């Protein structure tokens, strides 16, 4: 079988939504795409964006569109070029997201070294009874307001687990955990606006 035949066979399997074909394409290009993604972000953004998440999103977009017949791929080079293009567009979307409005990393500043800041002192102080009561009421209202499927994420977030740790504990994709936490944050803002 020639490489052209093997490519055509792989693409046929991919169009048929065969899991092994998706895995083969992923394994062939994932490392290169992650390397490409890492080079797209300046230092200040690099700690906020997970290159693996970007690449997974790019693969998902490719697999869905290819399976639905919206993309045509003729050879290995064409496949690489298309995956690289989708990945670069995903990178540009992430950069745009982190440069928008309140999230703009250009607005971030570092505190002077050795200075006592209020956020450094806060963990040392116990809340007043009134603050504790407000916190309890807010958390209870938030638990009532969120969807039952989002509650495990809320519980683990309140216990201090990171998104990556929650993803592992609940067996959910990291991107799903981020979306869930964003929904919870918006619900909290609505509750605050109502009170």
Half-sphere exposure of 23 (CA within 13 A, CB side): 3
For 40-88, how does the pLDDT look when each residue is reduced to its tens digit (9 = 90+)? 988 777 778 889 999 999 999 999 999 999 999 999 999 999 999 999 9
CATH code for the domain in which residue 149 is found: 1.10.10
Q: Same domain, yes or no, for 86 and 155?
A: no
99 and 135 part of one domain: no
Which residue shows structure tokens 């092994």? Answer: 20
Residue 89: predicted pLDDT: 94
Q: How far apart are CA 180 and CA 184, in angstroms?
A: 6
- Domain containing 39 equals 3-104
Residues 25 and 98 in one domain: yes
Contact 99, 91 (CB under 8 A): no
Residue 110 corresponds to which tokens in the numbers above? 């570092």
The pLDDT of residue 62 is 95
Could you tell me if residue 64 is inside a domain? yes
- Answer whether residue 92 is part of any domain: yes
DSSP state of 111: P
Provide the domain count of the chain.
2
Residues near 154 by Cβ (< 8 Å), separated by ≥ 6? 142, 143, 146, 184
Whether 88 and 153 map to the same domain: the answer is no
Give the residue, 129 or 165, on which the prediction is more confident: 165
Q: Token pair 């603050």 is at which residue? A: 131
CATH number, domain containing residue 38: 1.10.1740
pLDDT at 1: 45
Provide the pLDDT for residue 25.
94
Proportion of the chain in helix, strand, coil states, percent, rounded to 5: 75, 0, 25
Percentage of the residues of the chain whose pLDDT score is greater than 70: 86
pLDDT tens digit sequence for 85-110 = 999 999 999 888 887 777 676 666 66
- The pLDDT tens digits of the residues spanning 28-41 come to 999 999 999 999 98
Structural domain ending residue among the three candidates 104, 136, 151: 104
Distance (Å) of CA 111 to CA 5, 44, 104, 107, 122:
60, 15, 17, 13, 16
pLDDT value of residue 117: 60
Q: In this predicted structure, which of 2-6, 60-64, 161-165, 168-172 has the lowest mean pLDDT?
A: 2-6
Residues 164-174 have a mean pLDDT of 91
Better-predicted residue by pLDDT, 135 or 80: 80
90 neighbors 98 (Cβ within 8 angstroms): no
User: Tokens standing for 11?
Assistant: 């693409």
Q: Which residues contact 27 (CB under 8 A, 6 or more apart)?
A: none
116 in any annotated domain: no
Q: Is the pTM of this model over 0.75?
A: no
Same domain assignment for residues 30 and 91: yes
Same domain, 23 and 75: yes
Residues 151 and 184 in one domain: yes
């Amino acid at each position: 079988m020639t490489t052209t035949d093997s490519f055509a066979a792989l693409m046929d399997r991919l169009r048929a939504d065969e899991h092994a074909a998706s895995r083969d394409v992923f394994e062939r290009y994932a490392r290169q795409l992650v390397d490409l993604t890492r080079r797209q972000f300046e230092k200040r953004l690099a700690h906020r964006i997970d290159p693996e998440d970007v690449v997974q999103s790019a693969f998902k977009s490719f697999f869905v569109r290819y399976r639905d017949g919206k993309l045509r791929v003729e050879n290995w080079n064409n496949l690489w070029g298309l995956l690289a293009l989708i990945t670069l567009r995903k990178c540009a979307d992430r950069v745009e997201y982190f440069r928008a409005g309140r999230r703009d990393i250009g607005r971030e500043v570092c505190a002077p070294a050795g200075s006592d800041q209020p956020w450094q002192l806060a963990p040392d102080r116990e809340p007043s009874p009134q603050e504790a009561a407000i916190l309890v009421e807010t958390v209870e209202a938030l638990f009532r307001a969120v969807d039952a499927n989002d509650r495990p994420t809320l519980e683990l977030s309140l216990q201090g687990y990171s998104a990556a740790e929650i993803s592992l504990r609940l067996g959910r994709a990291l991107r799903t955990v981020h979306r869930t936490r964003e929904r919870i944050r918006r619900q909290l803002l609505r509750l605050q606006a109502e009170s």
